[in-house]
Amino acid sequence: MEVVIVPDSAAGGELIAEAMADLLRRKPDALLGVATGSTPLPIYEALAAKVAAKEVDASRARICQLDEYVGLPAGHPESYRSVVLREVVEPLGLNQDSFMGPDGAAEDVAAACAAYDRALAEAGGVDLQLLGIGTDGHIGFNEPCSSLASRTRIKTLTQQTRVDNARFFDGDIEQVPHHVITQGIGTILEARHLVLLATGEAKADAVALAVEGPLSALVPASALQLHPHATVVVDESAASGLKLAGYFRATYAAKPHWQGI
């Protein structure tokens, strides 16, 4: 696992966007796994700016979702499909044919989960998967004690998660679904490159446990320790709990430029 400490979220967004752009230069039809929420927005903004400036051609890129609410129609403005279309697909100038995600409106949710796992494999696998981390160490919607071998499946949202997400539903928690479809930890680990971005002091404890703590289902993000190409990008605040911060800074400073992230 590589840990990169950056000054702020904008610097993290630029660094990861350049890694994505470099991937697209090498593999124009790369499958990019995206996450929702406020943390990855600087990544998407920086990548869209590179596309607009013709620094990279994203016209053949493919986009896939990490998770989706259960029960919201695909056209609902707060479905994750709609969010990804607004924040990633449209700014990159792509069309919906380049996009894939689980069907949260399916009558048979279990079948939809299995179908999405198969679709990812049939697409050749995810080349780069973006991740965030919860204050409890979750990735995707794999809450603490999720199986480290789990596949795409339905999960029940905690009350706190529903409270946190109510801001996207006019503050009305009753509008927030109780369930989501999420890529499992085992599914996530099949991506060729995992990139986790964390910003803010509230994420410091979770980052420290995921990076320096023991591998544990109690901290789902610690599963990144098993991956051969995992990159954790953190701002100064999110890095404040790392005991080896000095080592991480030194190794990144000495890294050959051609190695990328």
Q: State CA 251 to chain mean position distance.
A: 24
| Known catalytic residue at 193 | no
The Cα–Cα gap between 225 and 122 comes to 26
What is the DSSP-derived secondary structure letter of residue 64? E
The answer to whether 104 and 220 are in contact (CB under 8 A) is: no
Show the tokens assigned to 28.
């124009």
Given the residues 45, 57, 78, 136, select the one marked as catalytic.
Answer: 136
Residue 205, classed as helix, strand or coil, is helix
Residue 161's alpha-carbon distances to 134, 165, 180, in angstroms, are 10, 6, 11
Given the residues 14, 67, 117, 235, select the one marked as catalytic.
Answer: 67
| Known catalytic residue at 136 | yes
Given the residues 18, 68, 143, 235, select the one marked as catalytic.
Answer: 143
| Known catalytic residue at 164 | no
Sheet of 128-131, strands arranged across:
2-6, 230-235, 193-198, 128-131, 31-34, 62-65, 99-100
Show the tokens assigned to 204.
């410091």
| Known catalytic residue at 67 | yes
Show the tokens assigned to 171.
């503050």
Residues that are catalytic: 67, 136, 138, 143
